[in-house]
Amino acid sequence: MENEMKLVIDIGGTSIKYALCENGKLSKIKQVKSPSKWEEMTLIFKNMIDEYASEFPKIKSVNLSVPGVPNEETGRIDGASSLHYLHEADFISELSTIFKRPIYFENDANCASLAEMHFGAGQTCQDMLFLVIGTGIGGTVIYDRTIQKGKHHFAGEFGMMLVDGRREWAELGSAVHMARKVSKELGYEVSGEEVFELAKNGNQIAQNKVDELYFYLALGIYNLQYILDPEVIIIGGGISAQSELVAKVEEQLQKIMDFGQRAPLFPKLAVCQFGNDANLIGASMIENS
C-alpha cells in the first residue's frame, strides 16, 4: 500500500541518499559519500537501521534506486557503473539478510520517472518519455503508465542515438561534454553551470556552444517525438535547473519544424518537479510499477 512506511535509498556514484517515505512524502532525508568497497556499503546499510531505530518496526519494505540494470531473477545488478562492486554483489540476498524486510530495486532513471508519473509532471498522462540529461543522456519510455524496458533492458538508452550520423546524442546533448569543449577553447576548466553563466554574460564562445547544445537536444527530442509519439517529454538532470531550458529547446524545435515544411507535431516539453529527490520518491513506487 502507498501509505505504508518505506525506507528508500538512492545509490549514486558520488553519494547515497536515504529517507523514510510515506504516501510519496519524504522525511528524515540523509546523505553520505558513496564508499569504495561493498563491505563499506553494507556497513552504511546496517547504520540505517540504527539511525531509524524508532521508526524501523513500522517500515514495511526497503526500496532502492540503483545504477545499472536490476536483474529480478538473480537478485543482482547487471550492467556497469562507477560503483563496480555493486555488480559483483549478491545484492538482494545480502540486503534481505541485513534489513529482514522485502527488498525492491529499480534503475535510477526509471525511479525518477515513476516519481514524475505518480506525483509530478506526468500525473495526468498515459504515455510519456523521461529524459535524464547529465554526463550522458538516459531515461525511460512509459506507455499506458507502464515502464517499457525492451527485450534487452536497453529501452530508454536515448544517449546511444547517432544524431549526426557519427556521434552519440549523449555527447552532443550533454552539458558536461559542452563544458569540456568550452574549457578547451578558453584554456581553463569550467563547469556546465559556468558555461551557461558565461553565455548569459555575453561570452561568444559559451553562447555558441550553448546554442549548439540546445539545437542537438531539440534534434533528438524531435526524433523521439515521431518515433514514440508521447503526450509529454519530461526533462530531468542537472540541465533542468536552467530556467530558459524549455523555451530555448522549443525555439530550436520550431526552426527544425519550419525547415522543409515538416508535419506540425510539436513535442510537449516539461521540466521534472522533484529534482534530486525524484529517485527517492520513485523508489517508493517500485513494487507498484
Q: How far apart are CA 284 and CA 267, in angstroms?
A: 29
Q: What domains appear along the chain, each with residue ranges and CATH number? A: 5-112+277-284 (3.30.420.40), 125-272 (3.30.420.40)
Alpha helix (H) residue ranges in the chain: 38-51, 91-99, 108-119, 169-172, 175-186, 192-200, 204-228, 245-258, 278-283
The pLDDT assigned to 217 comes to 98
H-run or E-run covering 129:
strand 128-133
Residue-wise pLDDT for 152-169, tens only, equals: 888 998 999 999 889 999
Cα Rg of the chain (Å, integer):
20
Do β-strands 25-33 and 15-22 pair in parallel, antiparallel, or remain unpaired? antiparallel
**Cell digits of residue 157:** 538508452
Residue-wise pLDDT for 190-248, tens only, equals: 999 999 999 999 999 999 999 999 999 999 999 999 999 999 999 998 888 899 999 99
Residue-wise pLDDT for 52-78, tens only, equals: 999 999 999 999 999 888 999 999 999
The pLDDT assigned to 134 comes to 81
Confidence of residue 261 (pLDDT cuts 50, 70, 90): low
- Other Cβ atoms closer than 10 A to 157: 18
Q: Residues of the chain with pLDDT > 70: what percent?
A: 97
pLDDT at 84 over 90: yes
When mean pLDDT is compared across 16-25, 90-99, 244-253, the lowest value belongs to 16-25
Q: How far apart are CA 163 and CA 45, in angstroms?
A: 41
**Cell digits of residue 178:** 559542452
